[in-house]
Structure 1
Amino acid sequence: MTTNSDVQLIEIPKICDSRGNLSVIEGDTIPFVSKRVYYLYDVPSGGERGGHAHKEQQELLIALSGSFDVVLKDGDATRKVTLNKPNIGLMIPRGIWRELENFSSGSVCLVLASDEFDEEDYIRDYQNFKSFKH
Structure 2
Amino acid sequence: MVHQKKRDDALALQDCYILNLPKIEDSRGNLTFVEGGVHLPFDIKRVYYLYDVPGGSHRGAHAHRNLHQFMVAMSGSFDVILSDGHQERTFHLNRSYFGLYICPMMWRNLDNFSSGAVCMVMASARYDEGDYIRDHGDFLQEVAR
Following superposition, which runs of at least 4 residues in structure 1 exceed 2 angstroms of deviation? none
Deviates more, 1:20-29 or 1:116-125: 20-29
Gaps (5+ residues) in structure 1? none
Match among 115, 134, 138 for residue 124 of structure 1: 134
Letter in 1 for 2:113: F
Equivalent position of 1:110 in the other structure: 120
1:75 aligns with 2:75: no
Q: Distance in 1 between matches of 2:120 and 2:56?
A: 19
Equivalent position of 2:33 in the other structure: 24
Match among 39, 46, 71 for residue 36 of structure 1: 46
Letter in 2 for 1:39: Y
Letter in 1 for 2:73: A
Q: Distance in 2 between matches of 1:115 and 1:79?
A: 25
Q: Distance in 2 between matches of 1:132 and 1:12?
A: 33
1:10 aligns with 2:9: no
Letter in 1 for 2:68: Q
| TM-score (normalizing by structure 2) | 0.91
Gaps (5+ residues) in structure 2? 1-9
State the aligned residue count.
134
What CA deviation, in whole Å up to 9, does each residue of 1:56-75 have, x standing for no partner?
00000000000000000100
3-state SS of paired residue (1:18) = coil
Give aligned-pair identity as a percent.
50
